[in-house]
Structure formats: C-alpha cells, structure tokens
A and B are shown apart, each in its own frame.
Chain A
Amino acid sequence: MRRLSAANCPTTTFIAYMKTRVILSNILYPLCTLLALIAVWWVASLSIGIPLFFPTPSAVLAELGGLLVSDSFYLAIGGTLSRTIISFILAFAIGVCAAALAGLFKPMHRILRPIVVILRAIPTMSVILISVLWLDNFWSPVLIGFLIVFPLVYTGMYEAIGEVDRELIEMARLYKVSRKDTLTKLLIPSVTPTVLTVAKSSVSLNVKVIIAAEVIALTARSIGAQMQLSKITIDIPVLFAWTVAAILLAFLLEFAVSLVQFTVRRHYDKA
C-alpha cells in the first residue's frame, strides 16, 4: 500500500490529509473515548438497576440541567473558581520566583529543596484537616491548592533553568549583556515552554484538591460544600452532577492554559 506523503501527492491534497489527521487525533479519538466511558457508565448503571444509588448519564444530565438554572450553582462555581485562581496564581508566582532565585543562588535551592520534598510527600488529607482547624473555610482550600501546586511549579521551573544552554549564558556574559536583557531575551523564552507544560498539568490537579478541601472545610459557596450536602442528603444523582460540573471546570481551566501554551508555542515554532 502506498503511503500518502508530501513527496507523492499535490500540496492541497496533502494539507487536507494533514488537517484530517489533526481533527482525528485531537477531536474524534478523544470523543470516541468519552462516548465509550459514558456507554460503560450507562451499562453499569442499568445493570445495577438502582438509579438513586448509581444514576444513568441521562439522569445526571437532567440533574445538571436543574443545577444550571439555580443561583447556588453559579455561586458555588464562582467560589471554587476564585479560590482555584487565587491559589494557582500565588503558587505559580511564588514558585517561579523562588525557582529563579534558586537557579541564580544555589544556597537558596539547598534551603528550599527539603521544603519542596516535604510538601510533595505530606499526605494531602492531613494538611487539609490541619488547615481547616487553623484557617477560615475560604482560605483553607486556597492554602491546600497552593501547597500542592507550588512544589510542581518550583521543580519544573528549577529544572527548566538548569536546562538553559550554558553556552548561550556564557556568550551573554562575555558580551556584557545586561541582566534585564539576559532575563527577558534568553532565560524567560528558554523556560516558558516547560513552565506552561507544568501549569497545564497542575491546574486541574489544583481544582481537585481545592474541592477536596472545600468538602472537609464546608466552605460556603463552593462545589465541595454542595457535594458534601448531596452526600448528607444521600442525593447521589446531584453528587454525580456536581462531579461532572467539577470535571468541566477543570477542563475549562486546562483549556485556558492550553490556549496560552498554543499561542506561545506558535510564536516559538517560528523560531
């Protein structure tokens, strides 16, 4: 069988072929996976046959539709989103700055490394329980999100700094290029792709842990508190609906980071 390649077909045909491949790999395949998961869920739900214990996807969709018309849904989504954004920005800004300082001054890394190792190893639930006792129920999830994302951003950024081409730094030093130009024209462009990859993978994790903390802290106007309420009232279809809403929220945030990543990558692809 003759494979289609740039060499053996007209340009327009090849572009159409590549577009089809991109559509297949980015939209069709994930969609098929999603449909398969929903099908398994549906079959499992029908097999168990107790809709209140294990609702069907359609029942969950109906519950989600009901939530969408209530004010409390938007208050909860807005609350969780604001805490996610606050903790993510704080973790990201402090993680990037700390890693930049650690990259410049090695003793700083020696000081921060044990902290980062501890933060990565510490059980999330114990931190949630402690923070709930120490902080109010708004800031407790923010702290948890920060503590989870900070080590990821710090480690990713520190490693990215370590991978910057030493010969280019040496060249900049030889030509007495200012620190500002070295930072903005050499270091930041070198580390940005890695940092954005870390951001993309950590933003949905942030949503997960913040909701977990909200469940324990019973934070007002939060997805977590709404989930806890559904659990107390044993309203499993609503619990499923909030879960779907949380997944969509994480997906939207990841998509937003992907857009930034795409824009940056397109810029660097020229380079």
Chain B
Amino acid sequence: MIKLKNVTKNYGSLKVLDDITLELEDGKITCIIGGSGTGKSTLLNVLAGLTDFEGTVLTDNATVSYMFQSERLIPTLTARQNVEFVLGAMSPDERKAAADAMLSAVELTDFQNLYPKALSGGMKQRVAMARAFAYPSDVLLVDEPFKGLDMVLTEKLTKLFTDILQKDGRTVVYVTHNIGEAVLLADRIIVLSALPAKLVYDVNIDIPKDKRSLTDSKLFAIRNEIYTVLKENATDR
C-alpha cells in the first residue's frame, strides 16, 4: 500500500499540493480527476520520487513505471530498443520475451525496428505504453498520455490501454480529464480542487468492470457528482 501523509508541494510562492493525505490500495486503479493546472501531474511526480515535497510518502520500496504526457522516447533507439532500454536488469532472454509480448500487445510488432522519428504520435505513445507495462513495476503512474491526439485515436489507444490493464494486476494511478473513462476503469476516483489542490471528492466503485456501462444509474450518478464537484471547484486558470 502507498501512503501519502500531509504532502504539500510549493513551486516558489505558489502552493500546488496542500496537505494531501491518501492511501492507495495494492492492485487497485485510482483515477485522479481535476481541472487543468490543479497539481495532478505534480502528485504523480511526488509518487514517482521525481520532485521534492514536504510530508511523507511511504511506498514499501515499490517500483514504479510511468506513462508521461509526452512519450519520452530516445530518438537514437528503435521502438524495440526503447522498450528494452528499461529492462536492463533482466536476462537477455527475459528482456526479449518481455519486449516481444508488450510490442505485440500494443500492435507494434511490425514497426518495432523503426526509430521514433518515423512513428506517428499514436505509435510513439504505444511504444511508451509497451515500455511502461514491460517494466516489472508494482505501481503504474499514468498522466493523460493521449492528450493532444485526435478523438478517434484517443478512444482506440484508451481501449488498448484498458485491455492490457485488465490483465495486469499492478497498482495504477491514472490522471485523466475524462470522467466517463474514469468511471468505467477505476476502482476509486479522487477529485482535486483548484490550487492549492486538496482532495475534495473520493469515491470507491465496487461494480465489476465487465458489468459497467455509462448508462448504469449508479455510475451515471457518480459522473454527475464528479461533474458538479469539478464545476464548483473550477477556476479560470
């Protein structure tokens, strides 16, 4: 279990996270929703250990993989090499098998020897997805990875992502703007307020994922509640 206790983060005089206390259960998918610029990415960076902060984060030495907003692929390595780049601790056979499996899962086997320059935006995100899932982590952090892609491609990649995620048992913290996607995917949804960000809404969804539908009355009610909370906490940032 990951525990955040009284986590506060300032960028100079700007307070971004304000006294966040939170426990994330193992193997569960937690979606974080909030308006633009409300510290969602900062919260993920705190969990990943990529930024300093005040307070405590207890991770039990959990390993972390991260799907960033940008793909962060090394331009001089092929798609396959980019995936294998993070698998250095494995034996060559294990590395090959893990890369093969994930490149196949993201439907990039035929493009594995292309360099990022030759890949489309969606393909690059799929490589980043393969890299994040191939890495044997306990926790997967996901930060709006399909932001900036067109709607059809976003839907396709989100489906691919959720398909892989269903077969994967790791703890996931997923930042998204899409309330519909969150209610279909998450075991728990957290809403952050405008800056300085505080937890303003926290709900567990116990409906089995294969039985969820956006027309389900309970999910519909949760969607409306989240929407209302977001509207109440909206700023013009």
| Given A167-B68, A177-B88: 19 more A-B contacts, CB < 8 Å | A167-B72, A168-B74, A173-B50, A174-B49, A174-B50, A174-B65, A174-B66, A175-B65, A175-B85, A175-B135, A176-B63, A176-B89, A177-B85, A177-B86, A181-B85, A185-B85, A268-B76, A271-B76, A271-B117
Min CB–CB distance A129 → chain B (angstroms): 46
Known: A171-B68, A174-B48. A270 touches B115 (CB 8 A): yes
Inter-subunit contact B72/A171 (CB<8 Å): yes
| Interface status of A71 (Cβ within 8 A of chain B) | no
Complex CA gap A168/B68 in Å reads 11
As a 0/1 sequence over residues 173 to 200 of chain A, the CB contacts with chain B under 8 angstroms (1 = contact) are: 1111110010001100110000000000
Return A8 CB to nearest CB of chain B, in Å: 25
Most chain B beta-carbon neighbours within 10 Å: one of A185, A186, A189 = A185
* CB-based contact B50/A170 at 8 Å: yes
Q: Which residues of A contact B6 (CB under 8 A)?
A: none
Using an 8 Å CB-CB cutoff, how does the interface string of B55-88 with A read, 1 for contact, 0 for none? 0000000011110101010111100010001101
What is the bound-complex CA distance between A189 and B135, given in angstroms? 23
Q: Which of B113-136 contact A (CB under 8 A)?
A: 115-117, 131, 135
A185 to B81, CA, bound (A): 9
- What total of chain A residues lie within 8 Å of the partner, measured CB to CB? 19
Contact surface of B with A, Cβ cutoff 8 Å: 48-50, 63-66, 68, 70, 72, 74-77, 81, 85-86, 88-89, 115-117, 131, 135
- Is there contact, CB below 8 Å, between A174 and B76? no
- Tell me, rounded to whole Å, the shortest Cβ–Cβ distance linking A15 to chain B: 20
Q: Measured between alpha carbons, how far is A181 from B116 in the docked complex, in Å?
A: 19
User: Do B68 and A189 touch (CB < 8 A)?
Assistant: no
Least Cβ distance of A73 to chain B in Å?
44
Q: Residue on B with the closest CB to A267?
A: B76
| Bound-complex Cα distance A167 to B50 (A) | 11
Q: How far is the CB of A231 from chain B (nearest CB, A)?
A: 50
Min CB distance, B175 to chain A, in Å? 16
Contacts of A189 in B (CB 8 A): 74, 76
**For B70, what are the chain A residues with a Cβ–Cβ distance below 8 Å?**
167
Residues on B with beta carbons closer than 8 Å to the beta carbon of A177:
85-86, 88
Q: In the assembled complex, which residues on chain B have CB atoms less than 8 Å from the CB atom of A178?
A: 88
